[in-house]
Every structure is written in C-alpha cells, then in structure tokens.
C-alpha cells in the first residue's frame, strides 16, 4: 500500500470517529452548483462557506463548463439546483499550455493520438465569460437559472465578479 493510501486511511479513521452527517438528503439544500478548477490550492468549502449537503461542487482542470455540462444537467434536472457559479482562478495551469503541445507530449510518449480537447485558455476573464455563456446557451439549462462567473485569486483567497 502506498504511503498516500495509508495516510488517507488514517485520516478517514479520524473523520469517521466524529462523523455526524449520515442522514443528509441527496439534493443540495442550498440548490446551487459550483463549477471550478481542480487546483489543489482552492478549497471551495472553506473559501465559499459550504457545509456538507449545501451544494454540488463540480471540478475539473480549469473549471471548464464544456466538461462540466453533464454534471450541471444532472444537478439541475435530477437534483433540483437552480443556480450555477463558475469560478476560474489566477495562476491556473490551463494558462500555461496549448492543446497542440499536450497532444505532442502524448504522441511522443505513447505514440497515440487522443481525440480530447484539453480546453486550455489564454485569457482568464474570457474563459469565465465563455463558460457562463456555454451554460446559458446550452439549450438544456432553464432560462430562469442564475449563472454567474468569477475569478478566484489564489494570492488572496478573494473571488471577484466577471460576469
């Protein structure tokens, strides 16, 4: 067993010892979803005041709506959320490469072409706007759904409004 797995098991044993959240309902109590990056420096629960059962937190590299849309639809249509908050962040890894570069790495390493759009971006505010637009204009999100876009500053912990 790896050191990481051992550490995770030990931490979980501690967590379970004082666990009291075993009877929460499945649908999020505060009826909203957050789409954000997987970046290890972001703790949405701490940064945005979430407790267990409050909201869906959908994460992927960059917090891209195109990849998150599947989960957003499930969140809204099956679990009753009515608001989406998209949060990208400063110093995001997605600002540091292009699709061609990553496809080149995979080609060199594995001698294969994968048909994946890695969805990197070169402008933070534009990517937030693009993703809020994508959700609003997806054709499968109700017009009444409130969708807003934000940038989280990894330097300060602050979120600022984009759209």
Helix (H) or strand (E) holding 159: strand 159-161
Q: Are 62 and 37 in contact (CB under 8 A)?
A: yes
Q: Is 128 in the site for Zn ion (CB under 5 A)?
A: no
Q: For Zn ion, give the closer residue by CB, 77 or 122.
A: 122
Q: Do 63 and 35 meet the contact criterion of CB atoms below 8 Å apart?
A: yes
Q: Which of 98, 109, 20, 34 is nearest to 65 (CA)?
A: 34
Residues 29-48 touching Zn ion, rule: CB under 5 A, are 37, 39
Q: Are 95 and 118 in contact (CB under 8 A)?
A: no
Q: Give yes or no for residue 55 binding Zn ion (CB under 5 A).
A: no
Q: Closest separation between CB of residue 119 and Zn ion, Å?
A: 11
Q: Binding string to Zn ion for residues 78 to 107, with x set by CB under 5 A, is what?
A: --------------x---------------
Residue 58 interacting with Zn ion (CB under 5 A): no
Indicate the residue among 37 and 68 with the shorter CB distance to Zn ion.
37
């Amino acid at each position: 067993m790896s050191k990481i797995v051992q550490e995770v098991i030990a931490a979980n044993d501690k967590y379970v010892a004082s666990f009291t959240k075993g009877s929460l309902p499945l649908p999020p109590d505060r009826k909203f979803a957050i789409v954000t990056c997987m970046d290890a420096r972001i703790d949405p629960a701490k940064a945005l005041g979430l407790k267990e059962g409050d909201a869906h937190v959908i994460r992927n590299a960059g917090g891209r709506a195109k990849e998150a849309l599947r989960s957003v639809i499930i969140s809204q249509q099956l679990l009753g959320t009515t608001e989406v908050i998209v949060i990208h962040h400063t110093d995001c890894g997605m600002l540091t490469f292009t699709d061609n570069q990553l496809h080149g790495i995979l080609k060199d390493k594995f001698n294969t072409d994968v048909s994946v759009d890695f969805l990197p971006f070169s402008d933070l505010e534009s990517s937030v706007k693009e993703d809020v637009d994508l959700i609003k204009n997806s054709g499968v999100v109700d017009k009444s759904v409130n969708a807003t876009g934000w940038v989280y500053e990894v330097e300060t912990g602050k979120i600022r409004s984009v759209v």
